[in-house]
Structure 1
């Protein structure tokens, strides 16, 4: 049997309905090259597996624990047979001509090694038409918040080279992906791994482009949106690692509002070593439970602190009463000591005569 040209890799973790809709949208692709769908059950909930049992023809990769985005995609790529890999989020809904548009762009004479999609939300508002880097390691999603009309006016709806594209819907040449050793575990569990990959592809001489004809409806941050603090933590943590690795590249980044054709020049990265304390970091599969456990410990500690505060207040009150009693006793003692024995005898004799 001839291997398909394209392997679409979809990570599945906790979204059931969204995953089913994503797979339905893949089944509805038109004029696409022959493709397979590789679903990575990335420490997925049991209902994910049950839903996938009803979908024929899938290549399924089962990981006992959530390996994170990059490692999960790497596992899917290892099981894929296509000469092109397309990474697609499980909360993404590709339009019917999406895959055909990616393949057509990949076949053009400039031979890009990565082709990104136009991401829009359910209201047809642009999320991203390619992205660019900033000197502070932040990123600019080009066209974010614009209507399609405004994006067209601003020249965003034409295919062009970019710094990088989101891996929520990204075509990558398989040979180039393998040569770059795939996604880097440095950014486990999520964020910045797709930016890092595409910089390494570009450093090796590859071209990264966006293809606005390849349209995907996507709801950003669905997997981590229920824990925004955790999402913010990952962004800061991985952003710092990315900034350290690509410092010389970021130093040459253009201004955020520079012309679209002005790209960041990619320079060799610096080695990055994780801090020693991260060696004992919790696995992403248990991170939520670990955080919940820490919060419970903090709650109990707070309750214990309140109890101690009440006890301390009681002790302070008792101490204050003791001080008052001690002070009264001292005044009485001072009074007694200031009276001579003779005075006391005279006082008693005088009192006896008065009674007599």
Structure 2
């Protein structure tokens, strides 16, 4: 009788253990729990409030938070050629609770900056390229130029007299002007800022005379008569300003520069968590209302798969690296 009770007890314990194994989550580690996310998620933005990247982040955050079921907390960390924000993002725990909205600068810094303590391709896992847009050359009205050809003519007649602002060293706006300088053989002086917002404020005030930046913050200032649009950097004209010619149309065939925004997380983030973020991001970006909002701002939703985003960033590193080496541009870090 005692043996029967003991055997029954062992059978029940074994069944309980098997049941526990069947119900137990297969993921390991505190960060890879099936209930991800269970608290707010931080989105690091390497721009100050008011810049193009900040605008893009705040367009995406509400829908992404709704899709994930948790609030997205926007965290602006401008300056340092975006290295400050990038280092903060790459050093965060790989648990899916810190995302990073990178831009073209992410593909420029590996060549431009001498000492980086991270590897862009190895330390980050791309979720998707969220959106892309051409940039627009805008000038202060006092400069007296109305298009790219007039800007080049003025710069040639006054070498080194035109100062141009940018969101910082290695940003899309910086490299776009340097590309024009190289192709046109002109000299303009670079004045870096900690984001497009401060650069545009000084442009409107006349402190600098030219800025090349995203249409998102710039075109409204053009429409208000505070700035003069000179040309778009894309391969074709933009729907936001269909009457504004591209730089290529104005005597520089082959000129093209695109500003893009990539949603990233840490490479060591569990694959299941990355998939959860990717699905939520794609759902958010492909919402027709949000897509139309991007179009109205002169941008286009991309929402591509992670593998395509990785290949794109890799190609951008090579493309901008060739230009930087060709013109001998030097970084500061």
TM-score by length of 2: 0.25
Larger Rg: 1
Which protein has greater RCO, CA pairs closer than 8 Å, 6+ apart?
Answer: 2
